[in-house]
């Protein structure tokens, strides 16, 4: 099997036709971590377009109930449920995770620790193949009888367990299989992230010399692995309830629907930190580079990150306060949930402190990284309303929850991705992106983003409940003052989607540049990936792997003339 790529194939990303065999082994069956990263990145971005289209369709229905939505048609109640279910599932499992963990993890980890590939390249390739299979399985669920699953991404039984209730029996089971396959893909991927970061570090790279983004992706992988098991077991049980007549979750036959909720949220809560941590890591790298500053209290950040990870296993039932759990349990989970706000607040303070005394340039990646902090703060503080059991009685299952989690997930999955992509694009493709277009895209995304979700906080405060295809049937929510807010939010979404064209245009023209104008280290950063060529060839450093002589954030050291001191430079 041809897996070695000649060093001069740095024009591998051009459109030239190489012989058929080398195309397949270079692009499709590659074991090179950078190519696998690209596969995850583009698959994830394609799924984001699909998930975004779903949001467009159901928001149009909410703003103009009953309309024939251009590009979709009329959104029936069944369509609506399937759209919201799959929008949520896709954005979390098929966009946030593959892009933040698998794409950036695969690209960055070997480069940042200074080795030539992941430890198990073939397992790496297998993980992507299983992931791609999960994508195909999920997409196929939209074309079966009665269409895609419509029981929400949380898939609570008995609705999800019986076809007579959900009316999407086939779609439900196929969705479960797709999710299970995605879990397996990420369990396999985690093997590489953890072993490569632990074992394959450059000589001289001690534990505290590892860049934050590598740490965050590794810890995220560990959190994922430690939390997904019970849900995987639960998915097997639910699949059996759906298809062979077991009754794990069927109360008529001695089962318990609340068991599913516990299994789901025991995973579901750590999962949000699984996606949060890599986004924080990406922002940290960018902020240090463009503020020309050492990360403030790096070690404290690491301990806080671990504390958040551990605590995240103790908060899950705050999703179930009104679900019928023993009321006394609610007190425990309120305490743990409020406790977890402390390490997260500390991490936010550390980011702000890193800016202190800096020399800040607002490049496009820096704008995105700073926006991540500012917007995530809104998501974080609104979570407190939901973690306090007494307040959650009112807010549970309203649009307040929805706005809260979009103010966390959107910064994580969208802002974090754009931050990392615009920052590492020069390294990935050897060419600089257009700064003006980048800034236009930034503002054209951030301003509409806030215009979409602030109205939803208001609607939630007014009692608007979730997963409703039209509010015409609820006199207290049907008034024009509320409908105007819905229309405003939907219009903002349309504007935001339109501005994404600027991003794709920027990617295209930058990628198609004739000259590789990036150079090795356009941002004058310290971490090891910037010592390889842009893009790095197969094997990353053909002239010998680097050693590591210092920490990753030696910016503006007073004893040095240059305001940065790369890790691989001996003196």
Partner 1 sequence: MRPIATTRMEAGIPTGRLAVWWVVASEIVIFGGLLVSYIMHRIAHPEWGGHAANTNVWIGATNTLVLLTSSLSAVLAHKAALGGDGKKAARFLYYTFGGAVTFVCIKAAEWTMEIRHGYTITANTFWSFYYTAAGLHALHVIAGGIIMLIVAQTAKRNLELHRVELIGIYWHFVDIVWIFLFPLLYIAK
Partner 2 sequence: MIDRYIAALSTYASDIDDLILLIGVLVGFWFILCEVVFFYFIWRYRAKPGVRAQYVTGEDKAHKRWITWPHLLVLVCDVFIVVGAVRVWYDVKQHLPDAEETVRVIGQQWAWSFVHPGPDGKLDTDDDIKTVDELHVQVGKVYHFKLESRDVLHSFSVPVFRLKQDAIPGRVITGWFEATEIGEHDIQCAEICGIGHGVMGARIFIESAEQHASWVASQSPISLASANNP
**Binding positions for partner 1, rule: CB under 8 A:** 3-4, 110, 115-121, 123, 187, 190-191, 194-196, 198-201, 205, 225-234, 236-237, 240, 244-248, 253-256, 259, 263, 266, 539, 545
Q: Residue 74 belongs to what H/E stretch?
A: strand 73-74
Gap between the Cα atoms of 548 and 528, Å rounded: 8
Gap between the Cα atoms of 145 and 142, Å rounded: 8
| Cis previous bond, 535, omega within 30 | yes
Question: Which tokens belong to 270?
Answer: 């750590």
How near is the Cβ of 178 to partner 2 at its closest, in Å?
20
How near is the Cβ of 139 to partner 2 at its closest, in Å?
22
Is 85 or 196 the residue whose CB approaches partner 1 more closely? 196
Nearest to 215 by CA among 185, 201, 194: 194
Residue 440 binding partner per list partner 1, partner 2, none, with a CB distance cut-off of 5 to 8 Å that depends on partner kind: none
Residue 307 binding partner per list partner 2, partner 1, none, with a CB distance cut-off of 5 to 8 Å that depends on partner kind: none
Nearest to 520 by CA among 540, 545, 548, 496: 540
Is 240 or 477 the residue whose CB approaches partner 2 more closely? 477
How near is the Cβ of 326 to partner 2 at its closest, in Å?
9
Cβ atoms of 407 and 379 within 8 Å: the answer is yes
How near is the Cβ of 319 to partner 2 at its closest, in Å?
11
- Work out the number of other CB atoms within 10 angstroms of the CB of residue 508: 9
How near is the Cβ of 391 to partner 1 at its closest, in Å?
29
Is 105 or 157 the residue whose CB approaches partner 2 more closely? 157
Cβ atoms of 5 and 12 within 8 Å: the answer is yes
Q: Residue-wise over 284-302: b if at least 16 C-beta within 10 A, else e? A: bbbbbbbbbbbbbebeebb
How near is the Cβ of 128 to partner 1 at its closest, in Å?
17
Residue 225 binding partner per list partner 2, partner 1, none, with a CB distance cut-off of 5 to 8 Å that depends on partner kind: partner 1
How near is the Cβ of 428 to partner 2 at its closest, in Å?
26
**């579901």: which residue's tokens?**
268
Is 37 or 377 the residue whose CB approaches partner 2 more closely? 377
DSSP annotation of 201 reads P
Nearest to 418 by CA among 403, 433, 430: 433
Cβ atoms of 320 and 392 within 8 Å: the answer is no
Is 234 or 455 the residue whose CB approaches partner 1 more closely? 234
**Ramachandran region of residue 146, left (φ > 0), alpha (ψ -120 to 50) or beta?**
left
Is 208 or 504 the residue whose CB approaches partner 2 more closely? 208
Residue 520 binding partner per list partner 1, partner 2, none, with a CB distance cut-off of 5 to 8 Å that depends on partner kind: none
How near is the Cβ of 269 to partner 1 at its closest, in Å?
14
Is 243 or 300 the residue whose CB approaches partner 2 more closely? 300
How near is the Cβ of 231 to partner 2 at its closest, in Å?
18
How near is the Cβ of 224 to partner 2 at its closest, in Å?
26
Is 109 or 212 the residue whose CB approaches partner 2 more closely? 212
How near is the Cβ of 108 to partner 2 at its closest, in Å?
24
Residue 404 binding partner per list partner 1, partner 2, none, with a CB distance cut-off of 5 to 8 Å that depends on partner kind: none
How near is the Cβ of 358 to partner 2 at its closest, in Å?
5
Residue 246 binding partner per list partner 2, partner 1, none, with a CB distance cut-off of 5 to 8 Å that depends on partner kind: partner 1
Residue 293 binding partner per list partner 1, partner 2, none, with a CB distance cut-off of 5 to 8 Å that depends on partner kind: partner 2
Residue 227 binding partner per list partner 1, partner 2, none, with a CB distance cut-off of 5 to 8 Å that depends on partner kind: partner 1
Residue 67 binding partner per list partner 2, partner 1, none, with a CB distance cut-off of 5 to 8 Å that depends on partner kind: none
Nearest to 535 by CA among 19, 25, 23, 37: 37
Residue 294 binding partner per list partner 2, partner 1, none, with a CB distance cut-off of 5 to 8 Å that depends on partner kind: partner 2
Question: Which tokens belong to 486?
Answer: 């819905």
Gap between the Cα atoms of 58 and 91, Å rounded: 15
Is 503 or 553 the residue whose CB approaches partner 2 more closely? 553
DSSP per position, 268-305 = HHHHHHHHHHHHHHHHHHHHHHHHT-PPTTHHHHHHHH
> Residue 153, SS3?
coil
Beta-carbon contacts of 14 under 8 Å, excluding residues fewer than 6 positions away, are: none
Q: Residue-wise over 33-62: b if at least 16 C-beta within 10 A, else e? A: bbbbbbbbbebbbebbebbbebbbbbbbbb
Residues in the chain: 571
Residue 461 binding partner per list partner 1, partner 2, none, with a CB distance cut-off of 5 to 8 Å that depends on partner kind: partner 2
Nearest to 477 by CA among 489, 491, 466, 493: 466
Is 240 or 451 the residue whose CB approaches partner 1 more closely? 240
Is 13 or 465 the residue whose CB approaches partner 2 more closely? 465
Nearest to 97 by CA among 309, 276, 230, 229: 276
Residue 205 binding partner per list partner 1, partner 2, none, with a CB distance cut-off of 5 to 8 Å that depends on partner kind: partner 1
How near is the Cβ of 523 to partner 1 at its closest, in Å?
25
Nearest to 322 by CA among 401, 246, 252: 401
Sign of the Cα pseudo-torsion (386, 485, 489, 486, in order): positive
Nearest to 257 by CA among 330, 394, 151, 175: 151
DSSP annotation of 67 reads -
Is 78 or 226 the residue whose CB approaches partner 1 more closely? 226
Is 190 or 460 the residue whose CB approaches partner 2 more closely? 460
Residue 144 binding partner per list partner 2, partner 1, none, with a CB distance cut-off of 5 to 8 Å that depends on partner kind: none
């Amino acid at each position: 099997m041809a897996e070695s790529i000649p060093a001069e194939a740095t024009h591998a990303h051009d459109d030239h036709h190489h012989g058929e065999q080398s195309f397949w082994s270079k692009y499709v069956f590659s074991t090179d971590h950078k190519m696998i990263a690209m596969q995850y990145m583009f698959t994830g971005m394609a799924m984001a377009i699909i998930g975004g289209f779903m949001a467009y369709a159901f928001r149009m229905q909410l703003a103009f109930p009953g309309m024939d939505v251009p590009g979709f048609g009329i959104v029936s109640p069944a369509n609506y449920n399937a759209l919201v279910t799959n929008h949520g599932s896709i954005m979390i499992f098929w966009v946030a995770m593959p892009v933040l963990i698998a794409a950036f993890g695969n690209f960055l980890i070997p480069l940042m620790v200074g080795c030539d590939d992941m430890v198990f390249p073939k397992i790496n390739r297998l993980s992507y193949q299983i992931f791609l299979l999960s994508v195909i399985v999920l997409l196929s669920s939209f074309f079966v009888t009665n269409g895609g699953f419509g029981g929400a991404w949380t898939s609570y039984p008995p609705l999800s367990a019986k076809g007579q209730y959900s009316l999407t029996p086939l779609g439900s089971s196929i969705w479960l299989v797709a999710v299970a396959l995605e879990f397996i893909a990420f369990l396999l991927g985690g093997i590489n992230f953890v072993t490569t970061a632990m074992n394959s570090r450059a000589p001289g790279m001690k534990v505290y010399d590892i860049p934050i983004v590598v740490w965050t992706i590794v810890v995220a992988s560990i959190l994922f692995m430690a939390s997904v098991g019970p849900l995987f077991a639960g998915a097997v049980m639910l699949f059996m309830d759906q298809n062979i007549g077991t009754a794990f979750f069927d109360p008529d036959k001695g089962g318990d629907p609340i068991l599913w909720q516990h299994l789901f949220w025991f995973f579901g809560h750590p999962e949000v930190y699984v996606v949060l941590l890599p986004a924080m890591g990406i922002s940290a790298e960018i902020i240090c580079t463009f503020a020309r500053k050492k990360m403030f209290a790096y070690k404290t950040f690491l301990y806080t990150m671990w504390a958040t990870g551990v605590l995240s296993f103790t908060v899950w039932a705050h999703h179930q306060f009104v679900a019928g759990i023993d009321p006394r349990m609610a007190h425990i989970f309120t305490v743990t949930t409020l406790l977890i706000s402390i390490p997260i607040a500390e991490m936010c303070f550390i980011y702000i402190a890193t800016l202190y005394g800096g020399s800040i340039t607002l490049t496009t990646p820096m704008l995105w990284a700073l926006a991540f902090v500012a917007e995530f703060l809104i998501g974080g503080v609104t979570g407190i309303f939901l973690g306090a059991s007494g307040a959650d009685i009112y807010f549970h299952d309203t649009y307040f929850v929805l706005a809260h989690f979009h103010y966390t997930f959107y910064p994580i999955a969208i802002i974090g991705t754009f931050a990392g992509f615009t920052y590492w694009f020069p390294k990935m493709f050897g060419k600089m992106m257009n700064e003006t277009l980048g800034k236009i895209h930034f503002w054209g995304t951030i301003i509409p983003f806030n215009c979409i979700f602030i109205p939803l906080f208001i609607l939630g405060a007014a009692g608007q409940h979730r997963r409703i295809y039209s509010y015409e049937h609820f006199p207290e929510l049907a008034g024009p003052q509320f409908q105007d807010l819905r229309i405003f939010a939907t219009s903002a979404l349309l504007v935001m989607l339109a501005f994404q064209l600027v991003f794709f245009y920027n990617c295209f023209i930058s990628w198609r540049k004739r000259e590789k104008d990036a150079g090795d280290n356009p941002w004058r950063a310290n971490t090891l990936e910037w010592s390889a060529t842009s893009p790095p060839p197969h094997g990353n450093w053909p002239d010998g792997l680097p050693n590591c002589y210092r920490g990753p954030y030696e910016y503006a050291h007073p004893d040095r003339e240059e305001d940065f001191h790369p890790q691989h430079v001996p003196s």
